Amino acid sequence: MSKLNCEAVRMASSAASDGLRGSLEPAQLEDHLAQCDDCRREVERLGEVMRLLDSQKRRVSSDQLWRGIEARLAAQTPAKEASRDLRLLVPTGVVLLAYKLFEQLAVHNTGVQIKLVPLLLVIAVFALLKENPFRINAELQLKGESRK
Amino acid sequence: MDDGDAIRACSAGDREAFRHLVESYQAQAIGHAIGILGNREDALDAVQDAFIDAFQALKQFDLSRNFYPWFYVILRNRCYKSAAARTSQKTDSIEEAEILEPSARMPYEELLLLDRALLQLDPEDREIITLKHLDGLSYKELSERLSIPEGTVMSRLFHARRRLRERLTRTTSKAR
Q: Are B128 and B146 in contact (CB under 8 A)?
A: yes
Q: Is A66 helix (H, G, I), strand (E, B) or coil?
A: helix
For A34-93, how does the pLDDT look when each residue is reduced to its tens digit (9 = 90+)?
A: 999 999 999 999 999 999 999 999 999 999 999 999 999 888 866 666 677 778 788 888
Q: Are B154 and A10 in contact (CB under 8 A)?
A: no
For B8-29, how does the pLDDT look when each residue is reduced to its tens digit (9 = 90+)?
A: 998 888 888 999 999 999 999 9
Residue range B128-148: average pLDDT? 95
Cβ neighbours of B15 in A, within 8 Å = 70, 73-74, 77
Round to whole Å and give the CA distance between A92 and A96: 6
Phi and psi angles of residue A58, each rounded to the nearest 5 degrees, phi first: -75, 140
> Within 13 Å, how many C-alpha atoms sit on residue A1's CB side?
14
pTM of the model: 0.74
pLDDT at A148: 44
Strand partners of residue A58: B100
Pick A14's closest partner by Cβ from B19, B55, B161.
B161
Specify burial of residue A29 (Cβ count, 10 A radius: 0-12, 13-18, 19+). Answer: buried
Q: Is B114 helix (H, G, I), strand (E, B) or coil?
A: helix
Round to whole Å and give the CA distance between B89 and B116: 11
Cβ neighbours of B162 in A, within 8 Å = 10, 42, 46
The 8-class DSSP code of residue A145 comes to: P
Evaluate whether ipTM surpasses 0.85.
no
User: CA of A116, closest CA in chain B: separation in Å?
Assistant: 33
Contact B97 A68 (CB under 8 A): no
Cβ neighbours of B134 in A, within 8 Å = 53, 56-58
Round to whole Å and give the CA distance between B29 and B22: 9
Query: What radius of gyration do chain A's Cα atoms show?
Result: 38
Contact A73 B99 (CB under 8 A): no
